[in-house]
C-alpha cells in the first residue's frame, strides 16, 4: 500500500501555467502557508512562476480524513466539494489531466449529476482560469435567437437591433465557453459551431468581417449523442470534434460514499439561507436518504435538504421532514431476494409505525399548506380538532412565521 505522502502527492498536480517556465514545488517542500487543514482534510496547493512572481493555483487535492479514508477535495475558490467515492475520484483525476490541454471537453451524465460543476472545475484548473467562464443553456435559447446570441450582431442587422451586441464567443474569448445540453442544438447551429471550432473565427450577424476568437469549448449533455448521430439528429463531424476528451459523471446512486458529506453540505447551506440554526439528520432519516435511488441525482438531494431545513422545527431532521417521494421508501418492508438469507428487517409495534405514518402525512400537509393547520387538516381529511390534538401528541410544533413565509415564497416562485 502506498504511503499517505505518496497518495497525497499523486493527487496534487495543477494545471499548466501560461508561462513556459512553470515551477512546481513538491508537497513536502511547499511553504507552510500553502498547506493547512480543514475538517481533517489536508488541502494541497501548488505554485507556478510567471514573470518572477509566485501565485497560488487551485487544484484537486487529496488528503486523509481523521478516520483514514481517502478523500479528494475540489477547491474552486468560492465552492468546495469533498469526494470519497473512488469512481468520482477517477473522474476528477481525468478532469484535471484534460483541463491542462486545449482540447474540447465533452461531459456526459444523467440530469442533476453536476455536469456544470465539472465544467467550472475544468475551467478553474486550466491555464485559462483568469479568463471568463460563459455558460450557454442550448435548450433555453429560442431557435430564432440562437445565432445572434452565439455570434452577436451589428446595429441594424435585424428589426430591433438598435446597437451592436457581442455574442457568447466574443464574450468568452480568452476563457471557456460551456454549452449545456448541447444535444438540443439544431443541425444548422451545429454546422455553425463546427466551423467556429475549426477556424476559430466568428462573424456577427449583419457583418461580413470575421474576427478571431480564442475560446476553449466544454459541452455537456444527458442524451446519448452516439444514438443521435446514428439517427441523423447530431452531426457526426461535430461529435468527433467534441468527444476527444470525454468524461462521464456517475449518478449519485453509484456514489454512496459521497452521500453523507453532500447531505451535511446542502443541509447546512439551506439552514443558513433560512437564517435558522444548523440541523442534522436523525439515524432513520439518514438511512432513508442512503436507501433512496435519487433519480434526480445531486440536484434532487439539494432540493430535499432545502425542504427538510424548512420543515424541521428543531435541530434534528426526522423521517417525517423529508419529501414524500424520499420518505415513502422507508415505509416499505424489505423482502430478501434470497429466501435462505436471514431476515434483518426491524419489527416494531404496528401502532408505532401507524403513528409515524400519520405524523409524516401531517407534517407534509403542513408544509404543503404553508403551516396553516385548518388547511392541512382538510388536505388529509382529518377534523381540525383532531389534527391539533395529534400535533401535541406527536410533538409537531407550529411552523414559525418566517419559515411559513419562506415556504409560501418558494411555492410562488415555482
pLDDT band at 162 (very low <50, low <70, confident <90, very high): confident
pLDDT above 60: residue 335: no
What tens digit of pLDDT does each residue of 268-304 get?
Answer: 999 999 999 999 999 989 999 998 999 999 999 999 9
Predicted pLDDT at 266: 95
Which cell numbers hold the place of 325? Answer: 417521494
Taking residues 334-354, report their average pLDDT: 50
Helix, strand or coil, per DSSP, at residue 357: helix
- Compute the distance between CA of residue 407 and CA of residue 410 in angstroms, rounded to an integer: 5
What tens digit of pLDDT does each residue of 206-259 get?
Answer: 777 888 989 999 999 999 999 999 999 999 999 999 998 999 999 999 999 999
∠ Cα 55 59 87 (to 5°): 175
Smallest CA-to-CA distance from 271 within 279, 259, 283 is with 279
Predicted pLDDT at 254: 93
DSSP per-residue letters across 11-50: T---PPPSSS------TTTS-GGGEEEETTEEEE-EEEEE
Which cell numbers hold the place of 107? Answer: 461531459
Residues 6+ apart with CB under 8 A from 170: 152, 202, 211, 213
Fold of domain 253-347: Helicase, Ruva Protein; domain 3 (1.10.8)
Taking residues 193-210, report their average pLDDT: 84
Distance of CA 172 to the CA centre of its chain: 22
Fold of domain 348-414: Arc Repressor Mutant, subunit A (1.10.10)
Q: Which residues of 120-147 are buried (b: 16+ CB within 10 A; e: fewer)?
A: bbbbbbbbbbebebbbbebeebeeeebb
Smallest CA-to-CA distance from 168 within 218, 102, 95 is with 218
Taking residues 133-152, report their average pLDDT: 84
CATH node for 105-248: 3.40.50.300
Residue 217 backbone class (left: φ over 0; alpha: ψ -120 to 50; beta: rest): beta
Residue ranges covered by each domain of the chain: 4-83, 105-248, 253-347, 348-414
Which cell numbers hold the place of 237? Answer: 463531424
- Compute the distance between CA of residue 372 and CA of residue 384 in angstroms, rounded to an integer: 11
Predicted pLDDT at 406: 60
Taking residues 177-195, report their average pLDDT: 91
What tens digit of pLDDT does each residue of 371-393 get?
Answer: 888 888 888 888 888 888 888 88
Which cell numbers hold the place of 266? Answer: 446542502
Average pLDDT, the chain: 77
pLDDT band at 118 (very low <50, low <70, confident <90, very high): very high
What tens digit of pLDDT does each residue of 48-69 get?
Answer: 333 333 334 445 554 333 334 5
Amino acid at each position: 500500500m502506498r504511503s499517505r505522502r505518496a497518495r497525497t502527492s499523486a493527487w496534487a498536480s495543477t494545471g499548466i501555467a501560461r508561462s513556459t517556465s512553470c515551477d512546481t514545488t513538491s508537497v513536502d517542500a511547499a511553504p507552510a502557508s500553502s498547506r493547512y487543514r480543514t475538517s481533517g482534510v489536508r488541502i494541497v496547493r501548488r505554485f507556478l512562476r510567471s514573470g518572477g512572481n509566485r501565485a497560488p493555483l487551485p487544484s484537486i487535492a487529496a488528503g486523509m480524513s481523521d478516520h483514514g479514508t481517502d478523500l479528494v477535495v475540489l477547491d474552486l475558490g468560492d465552492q468546495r466539494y469533498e469526494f470519497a467515492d473512488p469512481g468520482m475520484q477517477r473522474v476528477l483525476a481525468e478532469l484535471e489531466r484534460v483541463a491542462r490541454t486545449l482540447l474540447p471537453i465533452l461531459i456526459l451524465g444523467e440530469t442533476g449529476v453536476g455536469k456544470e460543476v465539472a465544467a467550472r472545475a475544468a475551467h478553474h484548473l486550466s491555464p485559462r482560469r483568469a479568463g471568463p467562464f460563459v455558460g450557454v443553456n442550448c435548450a433555453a435559447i429560442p431557435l430564432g435567437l440562437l445565432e445572434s446570441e452565439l455570434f452577436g450582431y451589428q446595429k441594424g442587422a435585424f428589426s430591433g437591433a438598435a446597437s451592436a451586441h457581442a455574442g457568447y464567443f466574443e464574450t468568452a474569448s480568452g476563457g471557456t465557453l460551456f454549452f449545456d445540453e448541447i444535444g438540443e442544438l439544431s443541425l444548422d447551429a451545429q454546422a455553425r459551431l463546427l466551423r467556429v471550432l475549426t477556424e476559430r473565427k466568428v462573424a456577427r450577424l449583419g457583418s461580413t468581417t470575421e474576427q478571431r476568437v480564442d475560446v476553449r469549448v466544454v459541452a455537456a449533455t444527458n442524451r446519448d449523442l452516439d444514438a443521435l448521430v446514428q439517427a441523423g439528429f447530431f452531426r457526426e463531424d461535430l461529435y468527433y470534434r467534441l468527444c476527444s476528451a470525454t468524461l462521464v459523471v456517475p449518478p449519485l446512486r453509484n456514489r454512496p460514499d459521497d452521500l453523507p458529506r453532500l447531505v451535511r453540505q446542502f443541509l447546512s447551506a439551506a439552514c443558513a439561507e433560512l437564517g435558522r440554526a444548523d440541523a442534522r439528520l436523525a439515524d432513520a432519516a439518514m438511512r432513508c436518504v442512503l436507501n433512496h435511488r435519487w433519480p434526480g441525482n445531486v440536484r434532487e438531494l439539494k432540493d430535499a435538504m432545502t425542504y427538510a431545513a424548512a420543515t424541521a422545527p428543531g435541530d434534528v431532521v426526522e423521517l417525517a421532514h423529508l419529501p414524500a417521494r424520499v420518505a415513502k421508501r422507508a415505509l416499505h418492508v424489505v423482502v430478501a431476494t434470497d429466501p435462505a438469507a436471514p431476515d434483518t428487517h426491524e419489527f416494531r409495534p404496528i401502532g408505532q409505525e401507524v403513528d409515524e405514518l400519520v405524523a409524516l402525512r401531517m407534517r407534509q400537509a403542513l408544509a404543503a399548506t404553508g403551516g396553516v393547520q385548518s388547511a392541512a387538516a382538510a388536505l388529509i381529511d382529518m377534523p381540525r380538532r383532531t389534527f391539533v390534538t395529534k400535533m401535541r401528541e406527536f410533538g409537531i410544533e407550529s411552523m414559525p412565521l418566517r419559515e411559513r413565509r419562506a415556504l409560501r415564497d418558494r411555492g410562488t416562485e415555482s
